[in-house]
A and B are shown apart, each in its own frame.
Chain A
Amino acid sequence: MATQSNNLSKKIFDAVFFREIWDAMKVTFKHMFHRPMTFEYPREKRTIPDAHRGALGLLRYDDGKERCVGCDLCEAACPSRCIKVISEEDKSLPLQRYATEFYIDITKCVFCGYCVEACPVNALAMTKLYEFSTHDKRTLLFDKERLYDIGERYLDDAKKYLYAHNQEKEGEESIAYRYHFPVPVEKSQDS
């Protein structure tokens, strides 16, 4: 019987002092004293690590020349088959290969980064850009212009991505990534 009266008094005590509410509020009050873990997303943004795999961009060399030689290895490496490259000989610079068209269907992309790894001239890189939601799905087929635009706007991110993934090095060593095309016989005879 003793336990019964004990239980009764505990019940009365709990009821008088709103014990259950205190228990519930304890978690809430605990959170009042440590730093917030979430972000107010559109107003605040999180810092993203350099190795982050975001939207793809195409890069240029420092002298403004397109890095991409249209080798199509990214297309071959892509597991979701979202890349399409159409290449051609550059008529203004004979013997130079370049991509006339370059498409990435970002709706299909699984952000694996294989294309970046496959690229022999480090023309492709991933950026920290992840905000490309849209009302029109058709705009998610990134064409060459858009990819170069991304590459230009997020050049720092792209470079950091390449360094983080050990693909490009600073300084002299990066020159080795550039492909040097041979000159035609006529031109070499002229000079």
Chain B
Amino acid sequence: MGLKPVTSPDTEATTIELTLDGEVVTAKEGVSLYDVISSTGKIVPAMCYHYTFDPFGSCGMCLVMQEGKKAPVRSCTAKATAGMVIRTEGDDLFAARKKGVEKHLSVHPLDCPVCDADGHCELQDMAFEHGVTDLANAKQKNIPEDTRSLVLDFNMNRCIACGECINICKDVQRIDALQFMKKGGFTQVVAKGDQALDCEFCGDCLAVCPVGAITNKFSKYAYKPWQLKKTTTTCNYCGDGCQMYVETKDTEVTRVTSPLSWKNKWGDRGDTVNGHGGLCVRGRFGFQFIDSKTRLKSPLVRTEAGFTETPWIDALDIAAGRLAYIKKTYGEQAIAGLITARCTNEDLYVFQKFMRTVIGTNHIDSSARYGHVNFVRAAQHALGATRMTNTSEEITRAQAILLVGSNITETNPVASLRVKAALGVYKAHVIVVDSAQTNIAALASHPTMVKPGTEGLFVQGLVKSAIQQDLIDEDVVKQSPEAYAALQQAVNSLTLDQIAEQTGTSVSHINEVTKIFAEAPRSIILCGEGIVRQTKGYHHVLNLIDLLWVTGKIGRPGCGINTLTEEANEQGALDMGVGPEFLPGGLAYDNPEARETFSNAWLTELPPAGQGDALLDIIKRCRSGEIKALYVVGENPLGTLPASCDVEAALKNLEVLICQDPFMTETSALAHVVFPATTFAEKDGTITNQEGKVQFLRPVFDPLGESAIDWHIMAGIANGLGASLDFETTHDIQREIMKIMPGYYNLGQPPKVEVNPEGYLRNGFATEVGSRYEQSSHATQAPRPFALKMIQLLYHSGKLSTQASGLLAISPNTKKLHMHPQDIEQLGLSPHDHVCVTSDAMSVELGIKPDLAIMPGSCGFPEHFNDPPVKDLMSVQVDPHTHVPYFKLAHVTIEKT
């Protein structure tokens, strides 16, 4: 709120009293007068004000009369003080505000007919409200339009210099990509240094621009606000689960807007701890895949002549018939299913119910297997929680944040704002541990670059350092002395010197960050794919929990361990029990009580306990011929897993491969039957974000062409198999989920996570902790000099975003290897050269791109693109505990071709 943001969440500002239009109101001292007025429900017009940043005071509209002053004062920049007597209405104020509008309009072009903001323009509203009809001294600025940026066009004729775009970029996004510049006699907003704008393209500046000065290139001139149908839904790109408005004309998506806008400018700045309502580049500009021309429109069945379009009824009959044949001939165990974690909770629930009850197999898995399973299994094992333990509010108010292995600004840009707010507004210590120079590391108080693949080792170092420096919480030792002794024993073999050397850091740095983490009253761990999706990811998460435990943070308010997910509903996939080890509600599949409950609920026996394969084992069994039929919902194992898994041979070995996907993927190209599924935008249902908020998806239009919602297709196949799932609407599924998991639909309010490490510490901790801290073979020098990482780009998410033309325009597949300039120089390369990248598996030819974010000695390639097949350079390691495949890191040699 207002002028003086509360810099410490621990201190409360004093309360004062002032008189507003004859009524006495109370307020916090130091806040802006405008905030006090708006908190009483009175609306004073203001064009440059937005609650997410400090008042700027340029528009001159928020005028009020203060007793004792002759002229009206600007309420936004005035501080509320005790005893003020304020009048907010009156003819004199109306006239003064009208003059303000006239001042803006006199240099504003009257090009409303072509302006995209027409009908959604604050200046227009103000002119209408104040009855401005006659302008005496109007003049035109005639500034050329800046169209150099890939995403946003700047028409500075229309700018009213309110500075909202600059302020939100600086104060909320902390990117600071825009500035004012005086050019041609007018103050204009330009990108830093008057270059073409090249930033993270979150589009928040576009959202808060009260006029049409900043416009969106992808939907420029294509709409007027009154033509569009606005649907509130949840973004499907990453696990942040941002709410967004998809605006459509018939079956065409015109643009995506966010709850953040100049229209809702009134609020309490403290509320931004739950998000500021904005979106990132993917959500705002990556909508083109929804109505893409490449969408599958009708079911395809493979015949000798290739794929033939087939009516739904026949395609469902063929699919069901073939599944029935496999089930009859080879048994239920010969059928397996994979589903993507971008589906809704309802789809996921129906999928696992279909596979387990109708087919009778437990060979099911989702794309949460690529890493999120590690976190959930570890948290469940150690803390009894099935998801991250903190809310975004707690992250914002933390005093120390340990961010391990996550390029958070690229993978989860909106979640990164919580860390940025903690850093900027609440002055938290942020310790970033990563093997690249990430954007968040540039802002962090303690950036730590470690060698690729040694993030886990660094965490071990932190635990060791905490014990060595005696930063241990006394209660911890008192409550479970055996467990503590075991941990002490386990870390005994480690030496900080060795760890510092292997990770490329220093002992003093490890000690310093451990001290900061241990001594802060509210410390939070955020672990990303750089540690969760790496070799021994499960153990790394447990080690992080050890760190929390020995420093006494477990169960303390505002402390905890959290993760970030790449796909929108990875958390939901595990909550819905899609995975051989889970039942809905995060219960273990082997739990006899839970099995009984579910077999009673579903009126059928569950497949026997102890059976069920995870992703890679399913692929292996397909190859060996044990699994004859695979049902793939939106997943693309062929496009995701490296060639060493030999997914292609496995899929070709199948007798039946049924795919359903909105697009033709590598996997569905091999399928026998392909069903056209819908994208998230046509679905009705819920998705669970990484925080545990269950949020609604609402259909923006009817399924395109003949495509159908995923669970409808599953129900159709079930009908073909002679079984009925008894679901008619999404509501029926939700009702069943509500019965099985009471309170799961939390309407966007994550329930408090109870953590209880007691059982874990008492039983088994001592036996397993030893193996976790064993020195691995990090010491051995890799035979190939460069570490190749599969990196995630801000502008993409998985493979889905490569179907969005807008995102491809911003970030096309350059076919270039990202390398540090220093390495490029050392190898004697120039940026236009092509290099041959060779790993143990194969070699690939690529261009090179200098990238300062990459650590010297390593290189990276975006994981979103398969052309050329860089992913095939990777070898796959499987976690023995969670069956998570690791294939994001390989050692390679780079040679000039």
Using a CB–CB cutoff of 8 Å, the interface residues on chain A facing chain B are 69-73, 75-76, 86-89, 94-95, 97, 120-121, 179, 181-188
Contact = CB atoms under 8 A, between A and B. Distances in A.
Contacts of A184: 144-147
A13 B640 CA distance: 114
Nearest to A118: B113
A186 B144 CA distance: 9
B305 interface: no
B147 A94 contact: yes
A183 B156 CA distance: 12
Given A69-B114, A71-B118, A182-B157, A88 B144 contact: no
6 contacts: A75-B224, A95-B145, A182-B144, A182-B157, A185-B144, A186-B148
A125 B223 CA distance: 23
A69 B111 CA distance: 10
Interface string B211-253: 0000000001111101100000000000000000000010000
A97 B114 contact: yes
Given A70-B221, A87-B223, A188-B144, 15 more contacts: A71-B118, A73-B113, A75-B224, A76-B224, A86-B249, A94-B147, A95-B145, A95-B147, A95-B153, A121-B113, A179-B111, A179-B113, A182-B145, A182-B155, A185-B148
Contacts of A97: 114, 221
B313 to A, nearest CB: 33
Nearest to A84: B227
Contact of A182 (B143, B148, B227): B143
A117 to B, nearest CB: 14
A71 B144 contact: no
Nearest to B141: A182
Contacts of A76: 119, 224, 226
A187 B146 CA distance: 10
Nearest to A76: B226
B146 A185 contact: yes
Contacts of B224: 71-72, 75-76, 87
Contacts of A69: 113-114
Interface in B751-789: none
Nearest to B111: A179
A76 B220 CA distance: 19
Contact of B221 (A87, A120, A183): A87
B227 A75 contact: yes
Interface string B584-614: 0000000000000000000000000000000
B127 to A, nearest CB: 15
A22 B148 CA distance: 90
Interface residues of B, number: 24
Interface in B93-143: 111-114, 118-119, 142-143
Contacts of A181: 114
Given A75-B227, A76-B224, A87-B222, A179 B114 contact: yes
Contacts of A88: 221-222
Nearest to A73: B113
A185 B183 CA distance: 13
A71 B113 contact: yes
A86 B223 CA distance: 7
Residue from A72, A121, A182, A188 whose CB has the most chain B CB atoms within 10 Å: A182
Contacts of B227: 72, 75
B235 to A, nearest CB: 26
A65 B227 CA distance: 26
Contact of B144 (A72, A89, A121, A187): A187
A71 B143 contact: no
B107 to A, nearest CB: 14
A183 B145 contact: yes
A94 B155 CA distance: 13
Contacts of B221: 70, 87-89, 97
A182 B142 contact: yes
Nearest to B156: A182
A74 to B, nearest CB: 10
B362 to A, nearest CB: 52
A87 B871 CA distance: 43
Contacts of A89: 220-222
B809 to A, nearest CB: 14
A102 to B, nearest CB: 13
Contact of B147 (A70, A72, A179, A185): A185
Contacts of B220: 89
A71 B155 contact: no
Contacts of B249: 86
A72 B119 CA distance: 11
A89 B222 CA distance: 7
Contacts of A70: 114, 221
A121 B148 CA distance: 29
A76 B249 CA distance: 15
Nearest to B249: A86
A186 B359 CA distance: 63
Residue from B113, B220, B222, B249 whose CB has the most chain A CB atoms within 10 Å: B113
A94 B111 CA distance: 16
B650 to A, nearest CB: 46
Contacts of B226: 72, 75-76
A175 B221 CA distance: 23
B222 A183 contact: no
Closest 4 CB pairs of A and B: A71-B113, A188-B144, A97-B221, A72-B224
A10 to B, nearest CB: 76
B145 A71 contact: no
A120 B224 CA distance: 15
A120 B155 CA distance: 20
A189 B383 CA distance: 63
A72 B118 CA distance: 10
A61 to B, nearest CB: 15
Contact of A71 (B114, B142, B147, B222): B114
Nearest to B147: A184
Residue from B111, B114, B148 whose CB has the most chain A CB atoms within 10 Å: B114
A184 B223 CA distance: 21
A67 B157 CA distance: 22
A67 B112 CA distance: 15
Nearest to A70: B221
B225 to A, nearest CB: 10
A187 to B, nearest CB: 7
Residue from B119, B145, B153, B220 whose CB has the most chain A CB atoms within 10 Å: B145
Nearest to B155: A182
A173 to B, nearest CB: 16
Nearest to B140: A180
B119 to A, nearest CB: 8
A76 B145 CA distance: 28
